[in-house]
Amino acid sequence: MDTSAPPAELDEDGLAMLVDALQARGLAVIGPTVRDGAIVLAELTSADELPYGWGVEAEAGTYRLRRRDDRAAFAHSAGPQSWKTFLHPPRARLWQADRAEDGTVTVREDDDPPPRYAFLGVRPCDLRAIAVQDRVLTGGAYADPVYGPRRAAAFIVVTECTEPSGVCFCASMGTGPGLPDGAVYDLALTETIEPEGLRYLVRAGSPDGEDVLAGLPTHPTDGEHARRAVADAAGRMGRTMDPTDLRSLMAGTMTAERWDQVADRCLTCGNCTMVCPTCFCTTTEETTDLIGDHAERWRRWDSCFDLDFSYLHGTGPVRSSARSRYRQWLTHKLGTWHDQFGSSGCVGCGRCIAWCPVGIDLTEEVAALRAEAETSEGAP
């Protein structure tokens, strides 16, 4: 990529033309919009459906929309969905089988062409989450047949974050609010509010991105306002997590008393795993028609908080207590994920904090585990 291109910006009309240009390429544009009291991700018919003038207040166990006194379209933090909803869908049919009158059975894998998406408004933390799921679901010998084709066809428009919420901690995880080095994307935007209206610093990150950008009306800019807005956002994160050697911390605190305290509050509802942009666990189930001539196998999201997730026939669930299930989730996310996939499984988006019905905060839990470990090390 030519990184020496002079900085350029779009105005609000240019943003609308970007949506039109992506649709003209046959892409379903998925972006943020307001629905049911939240900013959700859905297919947009035009840029008019973006959440202009809406912001978010989020804290542990709390998420509220609020009206802003400007028209910013991307001045909100992560909502209840992440992009895995579209790349690694909650339900996917894997195959179906039919029995003919002579008793022969025909099994057919699902070979429908994958949907072609353009993701508009991907935050840098969520871009890292997509990279994490790339390693999990397309790396190694067993590439996922649903995720891979969807991911390969996706056009990604990143929007750097300038309005972190009270649960965000991407800055301490090195995943935002600006684009980290080595990020893979097609176009990147940074929204600023200028006296003359909304402006979007825009740059291309791929040949496809360059091609789309060449058809849009851009204006020269020095980009300084946008860069300052992102730098300011890094200093306004609602939370932080000390990332120092989390793998060893998790491995060394398996018997910590803190697990009992968090287990007393955890409802094991699994909300944290559903909203997490990197959790990927699934289960399978079969369905048949009433006469048994047609059967289908479906894959659906599952959660390590489900009692049946670790069920072994003859012995029951391996992790029968809330303590063991919460510990499994956190130690995998922050610890053994490194062993499996070479990185942390947490990107600092804060969704699991906001959407936990009892407000369990993993940054608080990690700090408590670290303090307990340091106290134990200092004990005589």
pLDDT band for position 211 (cuts 50, 70, 90)? very high
Calculate the alpha carbon distances from 324 to 264, 300, 361 in Å.
12, 23, 17
| Single pTM value for the model | 0.95
pLDDT band for position 112 (cuts 50, 70, 90)? confident
pLDDT at 5: 76
- What's the average model confidence in pLDDT over 184-209? 97
pLDDT band for position 141 (cuts 50, 70, 90)? confident
- What's the average model confidence in pLDDT over 115-119? 98
First and final CA of the chain: distance in angstroms?
58
**How is residue 130 written in tokens?**
């997509």
Q: What percent of the chain clears pLDDT 90, i.e. is strictly above it?
A: 93
In sequence order, what are the residues at sequence separation of 6 or more whose Cβ sits closer than 8 angstroms to the Cβ of residue 74?
A: 32, 50, 121, 159, 162, 163, 189, 191
pLDDT tens-digit series, residues 335-378: 999 999 999 999 999 999 999 999 999 999 999 999 999 998 76
In this model, does residue 214 exceed pLDDT 70? yes
DSSP line for 227-290 = HHHHHHHHTT-S-----TTHHHHHHHTTT-THHHHHHHH-----HHHHH-SS---EEEEEEE-T
**How is residue 310 written in tokens?**
């670790």
The CA angle 66-19-1, to the nearest 5 degrees, is 110
3-state secondary structure of 39: strand
Sequence ranges of the domains in the chain:
8-235, 246-378
pLDDT at 131: 96
pLDDT tens-digit series, residues 39-96: 999 999 999 999 999 999 999 999 999 999 999 999 999 999 999 999 999 999 999 9
- Give the number of other Cβ atoms within 10 Å of residue 371's Cβ: 11
pLDDT at 181: 87
Q: Which of 1-5, 8-12, 133-137 has the lowest mean pLDDT?
A: 1-5
- What's the average model confidence in pLDDT over 321-346? 95
pLDDT at 377: 76
Taking all residues of the chain, what is their mean pLDDT, rounded to a whole number?
A: 95
pLDDT at 1: 57
Whether the CA torsion 196, 200, 202, 208 is positive or negative: it is negative
pLDDT at 378: 66
In this model, does residue 4 exceed pLDDT 90? no
- What's the average model confidence in pLDDT over 167-178? 96
On whether the CB atoms of residues 332 and 243 are closer than 8 A, the answer is no
**How is residue 38 written in tokens?**
């939240």
- What's the average model confidence in pLDDT over 149-157? 97
